[in-house]
Structure 1
Amino acid sequence: MARFQHTVTLAPVPRRWFESCVATLHDLAEDTDAEGARLRLPDGRPLPGLVLAQGRHLRPGARYRPVDEESGKPDADQYVTVLAWDRRRETVLEVVTVDGAADHPARLDCALTLTSAERPREVSLSATLTPSEREKYLGGTGRVHLDLGRWWQATGDGRHPSRAPLSGTLTHALARVGVTVVPRPAPDGRWLVTVKIRVGGRSFARPLLPLAAALLGRRARRACAESLDRAAAAWNAKVPALVRKDRERLRAELTDALLGA
């Protein structure tokens, strides 16, 4: 098994601000009305680029489709389905994309789950890529889970959580990748975030992993470190200004972004 570890410094996100963002997203969705297939924002303006194709707005089973820019018709190859919408319990959305030839399509299924919009506790994202028969080795599954309670605890008083607040796995026919992310407060108030990655081979690739690690390990570690540093730089360039915006400003900017779509 190959291992990698790297630490970056990130601008912090206040807990109250994050929870306010979650509430704002739910408020905007719930204040949007549906007139048949058409969706209207709270101020009455039509929401472009998305239609309600099935079910009742925000009820379990409601299905939304993007609108094809060329034909103006709903895209048959993409849709979002509401599996659950309960602010006190959980919000679950499923996103499906089908691509490729009609007789051998590839399909990507994603599910986003939020436990309690009123008091966010957990967020998870799962994805399954089912490739066409011609590209069967491109398929795999992935899952990311964020325990917000453990995250706020670790970034608040610095206590080491019993489990990593953020973890993920990526499983492929030939490899399995595990990722854990643990934050702690820096002396200047920012976050020191340590990312650990473990890569293990599967099937006939298992005995090849030590050889690949010996030949490419240093280059791969450097590439991972550089990617994380770039991501941290992008985060630090945008987040400080973002967290200074209040709830009303965020809602107004989100509405403008939806209209721009």
Structure 2
Amino acid sequence: MARFRHTVTLAPVPRRWFESCVAALYDLADGTDVEEARLRLPDGRPLPGLVLAEGRHLRPGARYRPVNGRRGHEEPDPDQCLTVLTWDRRGETALEVATLDDAPDRPLRLVCALGLTSAARPREAWLRATLRSGGGKRAKYLEGFGRLRLDLGRWWPQAAGHARRPSRAPLNGTLTHALARVTVTVVPHPAPDGGWRVTVRARVSGRSFARPLVPVATAVLGRRARRAFAEALDRAAASWNAQVPALAGTDAERWCAELTDALLSQ
């Protein structure tokens, strides 16, 4: 088993700003309408590149597909699909995105599901991803499953130093492959300047015939792997700190308007 740990400092995201952006996204989605499978924004402008292929708009089972220009301007792409699993502003909202790479020798299907509990006061967010292959006996070595869970109700109190159990990780996840399993936990603490001191821990364990290889690889490449782990997190933190403060300084309505313009420009 290999263990990694690194701490970075991140610019904070105000909780009220985050919640106002979530509410604005729900307002935007709830305000859209459907006209002959085409989506229209609340102001009446058509949303290009996406059509309602099945079901009722924003109801469980509704399926949306992008328009595939390669197959014709009005034909939905059969290899990509967005499905509404649940849509409840007070309860849980969950969406599923499926993508198929139908290569003849090694077809791959990626399915990602994203969920949020309570739009008015977000309490939990989660992500699940599954990669499957139909490529024969060795397909399992291309497959994998990942999950990520964020306890939003715990994150901000813990980041401010107000949590009762500050060592408990509000963000955790796992990535499972035929040969390895990676477990990640993320714990925030307050930084002196008002930012977040975020500690990321990762644990890698081998599976199947790769189980005895992980200790050997750790002994040989451990220092280099830990340095690469720390450098990757430092780069991610630098990118976060370069973009998040300006973004968080934008009010939710303006942010939503900019998002709408970006969607229309596609």
TM-score normalized by the length of structure 2: 0.95
Aligned to 1:208: 213
Aligned to 2:39: 39
Matched, 1:99 2:104: no
Aligned to 1:117: 119
Amino acid at match of 1:108: L
Amino acid at match of 1:24: A
Check 1:162–1:232 CA distance in 2 against 1; reply closer, same or farther (3 A cut): closer
Please give the residue correspondences for 1:1-261 in structure 2 after superposition, counting only pairs within 5 Å.
1-70=1-70, 71-72=72-73, 73-101=75-103, 105-134=107-136, 135-159=139-163, 160-161=165-166, 163-261=168-266
Shift of 1:102: 5.7
Q: Distance in 2 between matches of 1:141 and 1:104?
A: 18
Q: Percent identity?
A: 72
Q: Distance in 1 between matches of 2:167 and 2:193?
A: 25
Shift of 1:136: 2.8
Q: Distance in 2 between matches of 1:239 and 1:129?
A: 30
SS, match of residue 210 in structure 1? helix
Q: Distance in 1 between matches of 2:199 and 2:40?
A: 43
Q: Report if aligned partners of 2:148, 2:172 keep a CA contact under 8 Å in 1.
A: yes
Q: Report if aligned partners of 1:167, 1:179 keep a CA contact under 8 Å in 2.
A: yes
Q: Distance in 1 between matches of 2:147 and 2:204?
A: 15
Q: Distance in 1 between matches of 2:178 and 2:186?
A: 24
TM-score normalized by the length of structure 1: 0.97
Please give the root-mean-square deviation of Cα atoms over the aligned residues, in Å. 1.3
State the Cα deviation string for residues 155-185 of structure 1 (Å, max 9, x = none): 1235343620000000001000000000011
Check 1:85–1:209 CA distance in 2 against 1; reply closer, same or farther (3 A cut): same
Q: Distance in 2 between matches of 1:109 and 1:94?
A: 7
Q: Distance in 2 between matches of 1:220 and 1:260?
A: 41
Stretches of structure 2 lacking an aligned partner (at least 5 in a row): none
Shift of 1:195: 0.2
State the Cα deviation string for residues 129-164 of structure 1 (Å, max 9, x = none): 111224330101000000011101101235343620
Shift of 1:52: 0.5
Q: Report if aligned partners of 2:105, 2:135 keep a CA contact under 8 Å in 1.
A: no
Q: Report if aligned partners of 1:150, 1:161 keep a CA contact under 8 Å in 2.
A: no
State the Cα deviation string for residues 61-102 of structure 1 (Å, max 9, x = none): 110001113322211001000010000001010111111236
